[in-house]
Amino acid sequence: MKKALMLALALATAGSASAAGKVEIFSWWAGDEGPALEALIKLYEQKYPSVKVDNATVSGGAGTNAKAVLKTRMLGGTPPDSFQAHAGQELIGTWVVANRMEDLTPLFKSEGWNKAFPQDLIKLISTKDGIWSVPVNVHRSNVMWYNPAKLKAWGVTAPKTWPEFLSTCAKLKAKGVAAPLVVGENWTQQHLWENVMIGTLGAQNWENLWTGKLKFTDPKVVGAFTTFGKVMDCTNKDASGLSWQQASDRIAAGTSAFNIMGDWAAGYYTTTKKLTPGKDFGWAPSPGTTKVFVMLADSFGLPKGAKNRTEAMNWLKVLGSKQGQDAFNPLKGSIAARIDSDLSKYNTYSKSAAADWKSNKIVGSMAHGAVAPESFMSAFGAIIDQFVAGRDAKGAANAAQQLATRAGIGK
């Protein structure tokens, strides 16, 4: 009798185990970003208690390590069930063009997401053949950060255009501010470059640059390169040795007046530095980009051949839901990609960004993978380095156009 009961229990246990599902989620979110991912996993497991989430995070290298592991798995035919990628061309230019991703258009229709997300965002994550990922958050890249008390002491305000910035730069230098604008290592200079380009060319011409309607060799673009050179003349000489956090520190310390950085800087100031938004640090759209929201987003897609496809689809449903986005973003320090989030859950800066997200013209960031394929991005840093060293605007524009052609931009 006892043996029979034990056998029955063993069979029941085995049956339960085989009925339980699992889903492997692949990302580079660890450290400060870990709690936000855990909040999503917790919500998923509440909705689907019979499914265990395998959190396959690969940390380090700001995503570089994870992308290398992902490439090996995708090419080896063992993709994770769902994986993180920057929304837009980072995914489209690699795994979508390689025919390795599933079209998520039916999911967007069934979940009503075509109305929940801004049309400009859906355009960035789509091709003529489909919609390729579910954005879980949004960051803004075109933000100018400053120290309100120091600007008041210096008698200047945040400039609204790049010509106005250059005038402000001259005033600050005359007052003894050696580097009115602080920048860091190479990628932060690419970040600055795109802000100068958008602020000089305008949002429409920025979009035209990535569809091939506007060439890098156009006089307007060459002129914007020249402006970028003048802006770089207002920056610190030790840029290559600074992380973005160290550059941000110089705003808090009041040794530089301005820094152009994504709005993860707000999280750094408030969480790490314990500063008060609006008092200890201020912000404005980078010069020339009022009413323009330059975005980057983390998103997840569904690779073809995912072993646990149904569970992965349910993961994507959680990511795109209002509940999921409002669980994740207040912890991540970003805003929801949806336009109907509960703003009572967000801080002062995020409420400001969310208001602009709903009303501004949205364009994608080059420096963070939204509008340019990886083949362009990986080589563009060398062009910026060469330009910063020699200030040859025409040479840089020609090199950028050659790179764009090789990357297939405009085809």
In a domain, 5, yes or no: no
Amino acid at the residue 49: P
CATH number assigned to the domain comprising residue 375: 3.40.190.10
User: Is the pLDDT score of 15 beyond 50?
Assistant: no
User: Is the pLDDT score of 408 beyond 70?
Assistant: yes
User: Is the pLDDT score of 16 beyond 90?
Assistant: no
- What is the CB-side half-sphere exposure of residue 279 using CA atoms within 13 A? 5
The parent domain of residue 216 ranges over 143-294+366-407
Section 77-99 average pLDDT: 95
pLDDT of residue 61: 65
Is the domain of 62 the same as that of 156? no
Is the domain of 236 the same as that of 374? yes
In a domain, 3, yes or no: no
Is the domain of 227 the same as that of 327? no
Contacts of 249 (CB under 8 A, 6+ apart): 273
Eight-class DSSP state of 275: P
In a domain, 14, yes or no: no
Name the domain boundary from 341, 359, 377.
359
Tokens 């803004």 label which residue?
A: 140
In a domain, 25, yes or no: yes
In a domain, 352, yes or no: yes
Span 126-159, pLDDT tens digits: 999 999 999 999 999 999 999 999 999 999 999 9
In a domain, 31, yes or no: yes
Span 336-370, pLDDT tens digits: 999 999 999 998 899 999 999 999 999 999 999 89
In a domain, 13, yes or no: no
- State the total domains in the chain: 2
Q: Quick count: other Cβ atoms within 10 Å of Cβ 87? A: 29
Max alpha carbon distance in the chain (Å)?
95
Is the domain of 190 the same as that of 101? no
- What is the CB-side half-sphere exposure of residue 375 using CA atoms within 13 A? 13
Is the domain of 198 the same as that of 248? yes
Is the domain of 342 the same as that of 395? no
User: Is the pLDDT score of 19 beyond 60?
Assistant: no
Question: What percent helix, strand, coil does the chain show, rounded to 5?
Answer: 55, 15, 30
Percent of the chain whose predicted confidence (pLDDT) is above 70: 95
In a domain, 6, yes or no: no
pLDDT-derived band at 18 (thresholds 50, 70, 90) equals: very low
User: Is the pLDDT score of 5 beyond 90?
Assistant: no
Burial class (CB in 10 A: 0-12, 13-18, 19+), 16: exposed
pLDDT-derived band at 32 (thresholds 50, 70, 90) equals: confident
138 touches 297 (CB < 8 A): yes
Is the domain of 70 the same as that of 134? yes
Summary mean pLDDT of the chain: 93
Is the domain of 126 the same as that of 150? no
3-state secondary structure 235-272: ECCCHHHCCHHHHHHHHHHCCCCEEEECCHHHHHHHHH
